[in-house]
Structure 1
C-alpha cells in the first residue's frame, strides 16, 4: 500500500489564497472585466459545465435555495443568481470571497439578485440548518479538502430530502494524470507510481484526491443518496488549454506539447481520458 504524506488544511488554504481558481485566464490589457473573461473562457473550454450545473428537469431553479461549496471566482455562483435562485456560497479562502463579491458587482448593475449568504467558511462545519437547501453544488473543490468525507457529510446534512447534490471531483485516470505520470513517474524512474499518488503530490494544492467511478458511486450510495449519475469530461488540463502556472512558464517542452497535443482524440474519448468526474444524486426522503 502506498503511503501518503499527511497534509494540513492550512497548506491547502494557503495555496488557493495565492491564486483564485480561474483567474489565470484574466488578461490585464483586455477591455472586458475580470468576470467576463473568466466566465467566457470557462464555458468556452469546458461547455459541459453549464449543462451539469444549471440544467434541471423543469429547467427552472428560480426560488430554489442553492448552496455552492467553494465559489472560487464566483463564475457559476453568479449564473445561479442570474437564474433567480436564492444563493448561499462559501469558500475556504478570503481571496475567493473578495473576488466573488467584486465579480457580483460587475455582473449586476443593480442589487436585483437574491444573495442570502457569502463568507469564508470551513466546509467541514457548515453554518446552516439541517435539510435547508434544494441544491448543493461543488465543482472541483471537495477533493482538495483535508477531510473530504466530513465535507460531503455536511453537504448532505444541509440538503433537503429529495434535494439534488451536484459535485465534480478528479478521476483517478485521465490525460492529465498520464502527463503528470510522465513528468513525475517515468522521467524519475518511478514507473510503478500510480496516478492517484502523483495527483496527490503534484496536482494543484498538496493532498489532492482522485476517485474511480466505482469508488465515487459507492461513497455516494453509502451516504444514502439515490439516482447517482456519473460522467467524465475532459477539462482545460486534459486539453492543455489553460495558461501555464509559474512552474511551467517558459518551459520549452510545455510549448512544444501544446502545439502537437491530440486534443481531438482526448475530446472524442473524454469518457476515458477526462479528469473531471461529475456526479449528481438525490437525497433520500427516508432520512
Structure 2
C-alpha cells in the first residue's frame, strides 16, 4: 500500500484542491469500507453477538480512557451526534445510556455493522443513522447537546471544515468531544524510523510517515500548536486537551527491537506511569491547573488546558460552544 499511496500523494499536489480532496476522500472510503475500525480484533463469525463482544473487549482494553472521556451516562435524554461511528462500539454505549443519538459514517460497511449490532442487542432505535460526509453534515444548525467524533476527523481531507460543521450542529452551550492523532507522538516516531530513517530517507517528515503508513491514505496528526490554531477560529471555549497513551505507543513495534526500549523510555520521561488508574481520568482532566495556554493571534484568545502524556498518540479534546 505504501508505495502506491506515496505515488498518489505525489500526483495529488499537481491537481486542483477540490479534485484532489475528492480523490482522497474516495480512497479513505474504500479503505474503511473494507473493514471498520477494531473489527480486525474479532475472530468469531461476522455480525454475531460474540463478534461484537470481541470488538468491544479489544477497544476498551486498548483504550480504557474512552469511557471517562465520553462519559456516556451523562447524556441520558440528551441529543448526541456521533460523526464516524465505525463498527458502532461507542455508538451503542450512547443507546445503552438512554441518549437520543444520531450518527453518520462515510461507509456502507460501518452502517451495516452498526445496524446489525443494534439488532443483535435489541437496543432502542437511534434517531438517525445514515451515510454522510463529516465535512457536510445533514443536520440543521444547533441540533445537538453533544457532538462526538473519536478518531475520525484526521482521516477526512479538510479536518478544519469538519470541525466547523460539528460546531455548527451543536447547540449554544453544548459540548464537543473529539479525538485527533498527535503528530509528535512515539507512534509517529516509530513510523518515521521504520519507513524513513531505516530506508535511507531521513529527510521525510512525521507528517509524511502518518499520511503514507497510518491506516487510510492522507491520515493527519496534529501538534499542540496545530490544535490551538484549529480551535482558535471556532466559537468555543473551555478547550481541554488530554493526550493519552495506548498500547500502540507502549509497544511501538518498530521491527527493530532495541528501539522499543528507547520508545518506552521516552514515554516514561514524558509522563507515562505504570498502573495508571483510568477511573481518575475525569477528575484530573477537569481539575484546573496553571498549565493554561493562550491561543490565537488577532482573535479572542482561547484558553487551552493541556494534560496527559505529550508523546501519546491520542489527543482527547473537549470544548464548549459559545452561548449565542
Contact 2:245 / 2:311 at 8 angstroms: preserved in 1?
yes
Match of 1:205 among 208, 216, 221: 216
Structure 2 residue runs of 5 or longer lacking an equivalent are 1-8, 13-19, 273-307
Over the residues paired in the alignment, what is the CA RMSD in angstroms? 2.6
Contact 2:44 / 2:50 at 8 angstroms: preserved in 1?
no
Which residue of 1 is the match for residue 43 of structure 2?
Answer: 27
Contact 2:45 / 2:51 at 8 angstroms: preserved in 1?
no
1:233 counterpart = 2:244: yes
Count of matched residue pairs: 267
1:117 counterpart = 2:128: yes
Flag the 1:121–1:32 CA change in 2: closer, same or farther, 3 A: closer
Q: Which moves more between the two structures, 71-80 or 209-218?
A: 209-218
Task: State the 1:28 CA deviation.
Answer: 2.4
Contact 1:92 / 1:121 at 8 angstroms: preserved in 2?
yes
Which residue of 1 is the match for residue 176 of structure 2?
Answer: 165
Per-residue CA deviation, residues 154-212 of structure 1 (Å, 9 max, x unaligned), is 11110000000000011011121111011111112222322122111211100011111
Per-residue CA deviation, residues 206-234 of structure 1 (Å, 9 max, x unaligned), is 00111111221221121121010001111
**Equivalent residue runs for 1:7-22 within 5 Å:** 8-22=24-38
Segments of 4+ moved more than 3 angstroms: 29-32, 256-268
SS in 2 for 1:136: strand
Structure 1 residue runs of 5 or longer lacking an equivalent are none
Per-residue CA deviation, residues 103-138 of structure 1 (Å, 9 max, x unaligned), is 112233xx5x25100111111211111100000000
Distance 1:94 1:257 in 2: 42
Flag the 1:240–1:169 CA change in 2: closer, same or farther, 3 A: same
Distance 2:68 2:262 in 1: 26
Flag the 1:73–1:257 CA change in 2: closer, same or farther, 3 A: farther
Contact 1:84 / 1:114 at 8 angstroms: preserved in 2?
no
1:147 counterpart = 2:161: no
Contact 1:85 / 1:114 at 8 angstroms: preserved in 2?
no
1:62 counterpart = 2:76: yes
Which residue of 2 is the match for residue 78 of structure 1?
Answer: 92
Task: State the 1:264 CA deviation.
Answer: 8.7
Counting helix residues as a fraction of each chain, which structure ranks higher?
Answer: 2
Task: State the 1:263 CA deviation.
Answer: 5.9
- TM-score (ref. length: structure 1): 0.85
Which residue of 1 is the match for residue 298 of structure 2?
Answer: none
Distance 1:264 1:120 in 2: 43
Distance 2:49 2:112 in 1: 19
Contact 1:225 / 1:284 at 8 angstroms: preserved in 2?
yes
Distance 1:201 1:211 in 2: 15
